[in-house]
Amino acid sequence: MRAGMISAAFVAALAMALSSCGSAPELSKEQIVLDNIFSRKSVRSFTEEPVTSQQIETLLKAGMAAPSGSNIQPWSFVVLQDKDRYMEIFGENNFNQRIFAQSAAIIVVCSDTTVVRAPRNDPQGTPVKMANGTWRDDAGAVTENILLAVEAMDLGAVWTACYPYPDRMNPVKASLGLPSEVVPYSVIALGHPSGDDQPKDKWKPEKVHYGKW
């Protein structure tokens, strides 16, 4: 009986050892997330491999998971996958033509500068249209979320400024038919990286002040 128990334990231990043999060590959530943040870099050259609609949807979901002031979620997106179409806009108008000519898709992150809600001093009052003070911050959080998801999916992307430059915003707004209160904030060019871009080490302890500057 005792010998039987020992051999059963031995067999179980052996099975566990064999099942873990050859498999990669499990990474903690902290390691996975921090590795991804530290690996992100701007990618400006791409192969001709397309990006799938499913990948784009995952990126948009990551974008929409961003925080926003009062959870207003003022963002909207214009996805462009037809190169002829997006080169009409981004091949001109002070954008870096070379980046867009190579990219597989473009995501224009837009943000609504207005919000319809009850006045702060009268939460039960009639909702009115007012300025949304955090639309830029919300769009920035969205853009970074998308860039981090790009990194995690082994894709590459670069955040191209649209806001605050009128010579970029105005033609993009007109070409894409955005409503007057919606601003094209960033233009994310993405695809499969063709080069070997590396993340930059930006850690500078002298930038940190504890307690007081």
Ligand X SMILES: Cc1cc2nc3c(=O)[nH]c(=O)nc-3n(C[C@H](O)[C@H](O)[C@H](O)COP(=O)(O)O)c2cc1C
89 binds ligand X (CB under 6 A): no
Q: At what angle do helices 135-152 and 53-64 cross, to 10 degrees?
A: 140
**Span 21-40, contacts to ligand X by CB under 6 A:** none
Among residues 74 and 193, whose Cβ is nearest to ligand X? 193
Yes or no: say if 71 and 159 are a contact pair by the CB < 8 Å rule.
no
83 binds ligand X (CB under 6 A): no
136 binds ligand X (CB under 6 A): no
Closest-CA residue to 87 (of 66, 105, 68): 105
Binder of ligand X out of 68, 103, 145, 160 (CB under 6 A): 160
Among residues 41 and 117, whose Cβ is nearest to ligand X? 41
Yes or no: say if 156 and 64 are a contact pair by the CB < 8 Å rule.
no
Q: Dump the DSSP string for 57-81.
A: HHHHHHHHTS--GGG---EEEEEE-
CB of 119 to ligand X, least distance (A): 32
Binder of ligand X out of 7, 96, 97, 170 (CB under 6 A): 96
Binding interface with ligand X (CB under 6 A): 41-42, 44, 96, 158-161, 200
